[in-house]
Amino acid sequence: MLELHDVNSYYGKAHILSDLGFSVGRGEVAALLGRNGAGKTTTMKSVMQLVRPRSGEIRFDGTSLVGLPSHKVARLGLGYVPEERRIFSDLTILENLEVGRQPRRQGAPNWKVETLFELFPNLWERRHNRGKALSGGEQQMLTIARTLMGNPKLLLLDEPSEGIAPVIVEQMAHTIVRLKQEGLTVIISEQNLHFARMVADRAVIIEGGEKKFDGSFPELEAQPEIRDAYLSV
């Protein structure tokens, strides 16, 4: 569904992604793993064309994304949940969800408000609360739910377990598994190996903007030197 080939992305003169390439199949959950500053967020922003690669190719469902405005990338069926969450703090949960509403998309799960409240019961209980009254974990749930209102074919989640309580992390893991069961393709960016192992089919390890590993978690466990070199603190 998504293919990256020899992608090179920069911030000014700083070369962040170096000939990065990997692919993600339809209905798969893939985890981008790596330390802080490895290039995981830049990879997601390059897919969304928020950062424009200087060279390389990114294709989604056979369509090249390179050079497209970000809103057109989103209209093709990509949903992006940034680490910063960026909810509308003065709008209620219900109003935030309405902002994200888009028509049903062929080949993607169709999400309704009622279904999302089943997925995130915490949001149902506080549906009339404004965004600024929510905890960090609830804001993360709301950001994901708002993005799902756009009925994406592929969901990009940047650090979904970062800075939230352990009980919410576990709930987030169950949510991502449910999204996969619904047929949604998901890419998560993570530093938390335990969380990634709970939800993802395979791992892509990035270090210094380069791919260092691409395989299943059993394959990663069989190579502890890779894990220790690129994921240990």
Look at 60-64, 116-120, 202-206, 209-213 and tell me which has the smallest mean pLDDT.
116-120
| Sign, Cα dihedral of 197, 178, 81, 27 | positive
Which of 55, 13, 42, 47 minimizes the C-alpha distance to 207?
A: 42
Give domain status of residue 55, yes or no. Answer: no
Q: Which residue has the tokens 């959950």?
A: 29
φ, ψ (nearest 5 deg) of residue 12: 65, -125
Residue 3 lies in a domain: no
Contact 16, 209 (CB under 8 A): yes
Flag whether 21 is in a domain.
no
pLDDT of res. 167: 82
Q: What is the pLDDT of residue 168?
A: 82
Q: Is residue 202 part of a domain?
A: yes
Q: What is the mean pLDDT of residues 97-121?
A: 88
CATH number, domain with residue 81: 3.40.50.300
Are the C-beta atoms of residues 179 and 144 closer than 8 Å to each other? no
Percent of the chain with pLDDT over 70: 100
**165/18 Cα distance (integer angstroms):** 34
Inside any domain, residue 62: no
The total number of structural domains that make up the chain:
1
127-150 residue pLDDT tens: 999 988 988 888 888 999 999 999
State pLDDT tens for residues 185-229.
999 999 889 899 999 999 999 999 999 999 999 999 999 999 899
In contact, 164 and 140? CB cutoff 8 Å: yes
Residue 40 structural domain: 28-50+77-230
How many angstroms separate the Cα of 227 from the Cα of each of 30, 43, 157, 189, 224?
Answer: 16, 20, 22, 16, 5
More confident residue, 164 or 200: 200
65 within a domain of the structure (yes/no): no
Best CA proximity match to 87, nearest among 48, 43, 126: 126
Residue 2 lies in a domain: no
Which pair of structure tokens corresponds to residue 149? 């209102």
Q: State the chain's mean pLDDT as an integer.
A: 92
Confidence check: pLDDT of 89 > 70: yes
């576990």: which residue's tokens? 170
Q: Is residue 173 part of a domain?
A: yes
User: Over the stretch 177-192, which tens digit does the pLDDT of each residue have?
Assistant: 989 998 899 999 998 8
The model's confidence at residue 45, banded by pLDDT at 50, 70 and 90, is very high
